Amino acid sequence: MQLTIDNKRIDVAVGTTVYDAAKQVGVTIPRLCYLNLEALGIENKPASCRICVVEIEGRRNLAPSCATLCTEGMTVKTSSPRVLNARKTVLELLLSDHPKDCLICPKSGRCELQNLAIRMGVREIHSIENAEMSTYRKDQSPSIIRNMDKCVLCRRCETVCNTVQTVGALSGVNRGFMAVVAPAFEQDLQDSPCTFCGQCVAVCPTGALTEVDHTPRVVRALADPTKTVIVQTAPAVRAALGEAFGMPAGTLVTGKMVAALRQIGFDYVFDTDFAADLTIMEEGAELLSRIHRMLEGDSNVKLPILTSCCPAWVNFFEQNYPDMLDVPSTARSPQQMFGAIAKTYLADRIGVRRDNLIVVSIMPCLAKKYECRRDEFKVDGNPDVDYALSTRELAQLIKEANIDFNALPDDNFDAPMGESTGAAVIFGATGGVIEAATRTAYELFTGKKCRQIDFHELRGMEGVRTASVDFDGTPIHIGIAHQLGNARKLLDGVRAGRYHLHAIEIMACPGGCVGGGGQPLHMGNAQIICARQQALYREDAQKPLRKSHENPYIQQLYNEFLGRPLSPKAHHLLHTRYFDKSTNN
C-alpha cells in the first residue's frame, strides 16, 4: 500500500507500522517504551510513552507511530510543529517526574531517557516548578536494585519477566501518578518469585533496574594487605567484555581480560572454566549413574536429569516445581565449585587461611550475586565466593583503574585453576553444558574414544530443542531450553509425557549465559547474543583439549584431593540440595 510520510511517497507491505515506514524513508522517530525481542517474536508495545507520536491527516489526535499500522493513502507528518510541541512537552513531563541525579546514576551515558533529552535538546522543564515526584522505596535485593523513582513505566521489564521468562515477579501496581512496576502486594524483590535472572535489567532503558554494585568492596579487599584476592572469570564474560570498550559483539578478549585483572591487582587470575570441567566430571558421573540404574531396571531413578549450573533456573524450579526437587543434578554450579575448591584445596596449597582468602567471580549473571550468598555455600558464615561482579562491573572497574583495555597485551590464566578445556568454554552458550557433558559421558559410558567433538545438533537459538545422541547403540535423548518461559514449556511437556528425555540443559537467559543479565546490555538484540555464542565456539575450536576429563589439572585435583567423582569428599564440596520455595510452602 502507498502512503505519504513527510511529503515522501512510499510503498509498504500490509501490516507495517508508521514507525517502520518512516524508517524506510530515512526518518527515525524518537521513541522510548517500545522494545522488539525479534528473535522471540515478542514485542513490548504498550504505546505508553507517547514520545513517538505523529500527526496523521484526518485523525483527531496524534498517533503513536510504533503501534499504528499504515493504511492506504495515509498522510503522515512526523515532525510538524504540533508533533514537536507535543513530543517535547511529553518528554518534559517524563523528566519532571524523574530524578536529576544523572551524574551518579549507574545508567548515566547508557540511559535512553538521557539520550532522548539530549536529542530533543531539553534545557529546562517549562511550567512546573517544585512539581511533586512520584517516589517509591528503594528495593535492594542481593542481585538487583529497583529504584522506581527512575521508572518511566515502559513496561519492558514486565514483558520480559512475564511473557518471556514466565516468572511473573513484576507487574504494574497502584494507579495514576503513583503507578509503579513492582512485585505483587508490593513485596520486596527478594520475597517475590524473582529468580534474579536480570533480564529486566538487561532491557531497562533507565536507571530504574540496575545490578547491586560490588566493585567498591572488591577494591577495598584488594587494598587490604592481609587479604589474598583471587578472581575467576566465567566463560561468557570474555565474549562480551570487549563491547564495553567499543569492540564489536563477538570479539574474544580472554587475554586482555586476564591482563586487566592482573593489572587491577588480583593476586591470582583463574578461570571458572576450570570449575566447569569439574562440573562435567561430577554431573557427567551423576548422569551416567542414573542411566546405568535405568538400564538395570531401577524404576525409582529420576530421569531426565536436569542441569543445575544456572542459579536463576535453580531459583525457578525451587519456586515452580517443588515436587521435582530430586530431579536436577545435585552438582553445584561452576562458580560455587570453584569457590569450594579455592577455599580448601587452593588455600592449603598457597598457605592462606580461609578467612584471608577473598574469592571474586566475574559473571555474566546477576543471579550469581544471590547464589554466592546462599547459606549452603558458606562455611561458618564465610562464603565460598565472596563477591560476584557482573561483566558490566568489571568493565567499570577497568575504566576506573585507568587501564587502556584495547591496548593491553594478551596474558594467561594462572595455574592450577586457570586451565580448562574447550568443553568448559561453551558452558556460556545454550546447549554448551550438555554438549560438554556429552563429550565426556560418551567416553565414560562406552569406554571408547569419541570421534565426534562438535555436536551441532545441540547448538542453536531455538528456545526448546531436542536431539538424540547415539552412545554406541544406546540412544540418549537430550532436551535443551533457554529462557525460563521455554524451560517451563519443556518441563511441563516432560510432566505431560510429551517428551521422553534422559538429560535436559536449562539456562535462564537468551542464548545462555552470553545473554545474561550481567552482560553489556543486549536490549533484546538477538544478533549480539549470537555473535557472542559464536565467539565461544571459536575459542572451543582453538583449544588443544576439548573434553573436560582430559584436563590434566582436573585429573590432578581428583588424584591429590577429591579421589573420584561422586566420592564423599566430592559430595561434600561439590554438591548441594534444593529447597521448596513455592508460595504454598
Give the active site residues.
283, 286, 309, 329, 368, 371, 376, 513
Rounded Cα gap, residues 470 and 492, in angstroms: 26
* Amino acid of residue 227: K
C-alpha cell at 214: 560490588
The total of other beta-carbon atoms located within 10 Å of residue 82's CB is 13
Cβ 543 vs Cβ 422: under 8 Å: yes
Taking the complex as a whole, how short is the minimal distance between the CB of residue 204 and other proteins, in angstroms? 16
Rounded Cα gap, residues 214 and 60, in angstroms: 52
Taking the complex as a whole, how short is the minimal distance between the CB of residue 40 and other proteins, in angstroms? 19
Cβ 224 vs Cβ 374: under 8 Å: no
Cβ 266 vs Cβ 403: under 8 Å: no
Q: Calculate the alpha carbon distances from 358 to 219, 263, 361, 518, 550 in Å.
A: 11, 17, 10, 21, 29
Taking the complex as a whole, how short is the minimal distance between the CB of residue 116 and other proteins, in angstroms? 12
C-alpha cell at 520: 553489556
What is the residue whose three cell numbers read 562464603? 383
Taking the complex as a whole, how short is the minimal distance between the CB of residue 69 and other proteins, in angstroms? 7
Taking the complex as a whole, how short is the minimal distance between the CB of residue 154 and other proteins, in angstroms? 10
Taking the complex as a whole, how short is the minimal distance between the CB of residue 174 and other proteins, in angstroms? 7
Residue closer to other proteins (CB basis): 179 or 444: 179
* Amino acid of residue 469: V
Rounded Cα gap, residues 327 and 306, in angstroms: 6
Residue closer to other proteins (CB basis): 49 or 423: 49
Residue closer to other proteins (CB basis): 173 or 301: 173
What is the residue whose three cell numbers read 535443551? 480
Taking the complex as a whole, how short is the minimal distance between the CB of residue 8 and other proteins, in angstroms? 24
Q: Calculate the alpha carbon distances from 390 to 5, 198, 208, 291, 527 in Å.
A: 44, 11, 17, 36, 21
Interacting residues toward other proteins by CB under 8 A: 45-51, 53, 61-62, 64, 67-69, 82, 85-86, 89-90, 93-94, 96-97, 126-128, 131-132, 152-153, 171-179
Per-position b or e across 224-253, b if 16+ CB within 10 A of its CB: eeebbbbbbbbbbbbbbbbbbbebebbbbb
Residue closer to other proteins (CB basis): 113 or 426: 113
* Amino acid of residue 68: T
Residue closer to other proteins (CB basis): 204 or 408: 204
Residue closer to other proteins (CB basis): 51 or 287: 51
What is the residue whose three cell numbers read 508460595? 583
Residue closer to other proteins (CB basis): 98 or 549: 98
Smallest CA-to-CA distance from 388 within 424, 362, 350 is with: 362
